[in-house]
Amino acid sequence: MDTMNTVDLSAGRYLVKAVEKTAAPDGCDGNNWYRYVLERNGSTLVGQRRGTLNQVTRYAEELADDVNSRSGGKGPSQWSSRNKK
């Protein structure tokens, strides 16, 4: 199984935690699917993408950068719920 890991999750920014080979999602063809995991301070984003390990890793890194730029890398997004129940 192909896997890519990063170590430092303490910076308050989403980082790519893992990219690993996975089965195609239901209804999709191909055997070149990868599952990626982005993590920041206990928050996790998980997705799947078709491509090579390098392509999906690059995509996950760009996605992490995009999410970080939208939130400024400083805690929850301005769009997150602030309701305290």
Cα distance between residue 56 and residue 52, in whole Å: 6
Q: Per the structure block, which two tokens stand in for 5?
A: 């890991």
Tens-place pLDDT, residues 66-82: 999 987 645 555 555 65
Tens-place pLDDT, residues 34-43: 999 999 998 9
- The strand pairing partners of 50, in sequence order, are 33
Contacts of 42 (CB under 8 A, 6+ apart): none
Tens-place pLDDT, residues 48-60: 999 999 999 999 9
pTM: 0.71
Domain segments of the chain: what residues?
3-71
- Is there a contact between 51 and 34 (Cβ–Cβ < 8 Å)? yes
